[in-house]
Structure formats: structure tokens, C-alpha cells
Amino acid sequence: MRKIYTIGLLISISVIILSVFESCRKTDANAPKGPTPLVLTIPSGFPPPSDLFRNNPPTKEGFELGRRLFYDGRLSADGNFPCASCHQQFAGFATLDHDFSHGVADQFTTRNAQPLFNLAWHKEFHWDGGINHLEVQPLAPITAPNEMAETVENIIRKLNADTSYKRMFREAFQTDVIDSRNMLRALSQFMGMIVSANSKYDQVKRGERTFTSAEQRGYALFQQRCGACHTEPLFTDLSYRNTGLPVRPSLNDVGRMQITGKSADSLKFKVPSLRNIFQTGPYGHDGRFWSVSAVIDHYRFGVVNGPTTDPLVKNRIQLSDFDRNDLIIFLRTLTDSTMLNDKRFGPY
């Protein structure tokens, strides 16, 4: 009797366990899938990226949300100035043909908009490196009165009123709450995933194509005269340097010193990447040069020496007109039409 009872109990326990398993299996199959991971592929020859994504691993859903936010005018006070109004894909995500970019209420920025690509390799942002994480960077343009002139609270209110955003935040971050933290994480995923590594230069490096003899001559000159600051493969060593540009009194921009307060950093600016350089003009932190050849002529003839002028340009850079042309021919191989036309980075 007791034995039968025990067996009966065992059977009913097993049935309960089995049905629990079964129901688990069922709910798993019906549960909403988590976001799909996206991998930042490190192009051959690139150094390891920063720890940008350590606490914010990119996903397809997070990236898509970031892309939508990047192109959404609602992030600005009057609805007309999304990030993409100043960071245009066809211009390497800089502003085409503008020294300063146009913001809310007919105001202008006081620096040239920087291109946005390979940012997962940068540790500091803006011309003076005043921002030390990509995830907080958007707060600067959002709140700047001459850029987007908006508050985070207002943006969150606008996004909350849109049910499609509610769905996208849920899919990306598994939460029904739309908050600034996840908004910033999504923007960071989008920007951090923009990689430029398929120019002719990259293809030559991968052994898929070869340089013409003029490109090869330009490349050799580039390595000798420019590569110490515009270091391959990012074409920037991410340092701050004074290249002897005469100060514009109307702006009186002291660059890096504004952040560190050290006179040794006076007039130093973040070395810009030269990838996609023919798309990102005008040039320099204040957009004062309207052509690449004008920038090269600055190194040849225009350097003004002061206490912080970089030793590499102090005596100017000796280049013939012929050398300048070869350099320009080489720099043209840095145009990456794959990135410039990649639909994944285009308007939402």
C-alpha cells in the first residue's frame, strides 16, 4: 500500500515537473526575442578600439533607434536641427561647404563641424577634447543655444508621446521607460558603429589594388612629412597640436587650453583624421581653409611661430608644387565611398 502510494507520488511529481518544463519551453518560444547583438568588426591593421561599448554593447535594435534619433528634428527646440543637419553622411558626417554650421534661431557654431567615423577609436571628443565619452557628447549640441537649444526633459516628453519610439526603446533596452540614459546609449551605438575602412588606400593595404606612381610618391611624402600627426590607419594620432595657425581675434579660440587651463596647451587642437578629406571641407577648427591645397600651403608658407607651435611644423614643411600635387593625389585615395553611401547610416 505504502509502496503504491510512493510510486503514485513519484509519478505525479514527475508529471508536474514535466509540465513545468513544457510550459517553460512554450513561454520561451512565445517570449519576445532579446535584441540582436551587433559586432564592431575591427578592420585589418586597425588598433584595438576604445572601451566605448564595454557597458553598452551594440545591438541591431539599439543602433536603429540611435539612427532614428540622429535624424530626428525633435531633438532640437524648433524641430529643424537634427544631428544630421550638421553631420551629413555625404560630407563624411561633417557639414558640407560651411565653415560654421547653422543652428536654431539663425545662430552659428563657432567651430567647424567635425566628421563622424571611426569614433570607436577616439577617447576624447571635440576640437579641444573637452568631452571624454561619446555617450555624453550629444548633451553638448542638444543644450547649446546656437545648436539645438533644447532640454533633455523636453525631448523625453516628445519621444514619450510617440508610440513607435516606445516600441523601439522596449525592443532595444527591454524597458517601457524612455529616459535620457538609453537615448544617449542608442546614439552612441549608432555613431560608434560608423566605420570608414574601405577607401582605395585600404584596398591597397589589403593587397586588392595598387597605387599609381603619383599616388605612391604622394604616399611616401605623406609618411615623411605628415604621418607623425595624421598617423595611419586612422590618419590621426588623436593628440592635440598647434600647427601655427594665426589666431582669429574675433573668435580668440585657445583650443585645448580652454579645457586643461594650462598655457602649454594654448592653441592646440585635436588632430583631425584625413580620411574622406575631400568630402569634409572646409578645413581647420574654424573652417578657414576652403581647399586641401590651401591647408598644405599653410604648412609650406603660413606657419606662425609661438611658444606652443609644434616642432614638426615650426620650420614649415618644405614641399615643391609638384610634391603638393602628389600629396593631393594620394589624399584622394582616402575617400571611402562605401561608408559615404552606406544605407545603414542613412536617413531613418
Q: Which residues bind ligand HEC (CB under 6 A)?
A: 75, 81, 83, 85-87, 101, 103, 109, 111, 113-114, 116, 119, 122, 125-127, 134, 137-138, 141-142, 147-148, 187, 191, 225-226, 228-230, 241, 243, 245, 269, 271-272, 274, 277, 280, 283-285, 292, 295-296, 299, 310, 312-313, 317, 327
Is the C-alpha dihedral spanning 216, 219, 224, 225 positive or negative?
positive
CA distance 51 to 57: 10
165 vs 283, beta carbon nearer ligand HEC: 283
Q: At 286, which amino acid appears?
A: D
37 vs 145, beta carbon nearer ligand HEC: 145
Q: How far is the CB of 263 from ligand HEC (least distance, A)?
A: 17
Nearest-Å Rg of the Cα atoms of the chain is 26
Q: How far is the CB of 209 from ligand HEC (least distance, A)?
A: 22
CB 43 within 8 A of CB 208: no
Matching residue, cell 577634447: 129
CB 229 within 8 A of CB 242: no
- Closest C-alpha to 56, from 193, 185, 179: 185
Q: How far is the CB of 307 from ligand HEC (least distance, A)?
A: 15
Q: How far is the CB of 163 from ligand HEC (least distance, A)?
A: 22
Matching residue, cell 611624402: 221
CA distance 271 to 128: 10
Q: How far is the CB of 45 from ligand HEC (least distance, A)?
A: 20
Task: Provide the residue count of the chain.
Answer: 348
Q: How far is the CB of 190 from ligand HEC (least distance, A)?
A: 8
295 vs 339, beta carbon nearer ligand HEC: 295
Q: How far is the CB of 246 from ligand HEC (least distance, A)?
A: 11
- Closest C-alpha to 188, from 40, 290, 17, 31: 40
38 vs 259, beta carbon nearer ligand HEC: 259
198 vs 278, beta carbon nearer ligand HEC: 278
**C-alpha dist (Å) from residue 35 to 40, 124, 169, 170:** 16, 29, 11, 10
CB 172 within 8 A of CB 66: no
137 vs 199, beta carbon nearer ligand HEC: 137
97 vs 208, beta carbon nearer ligand HEC: 97
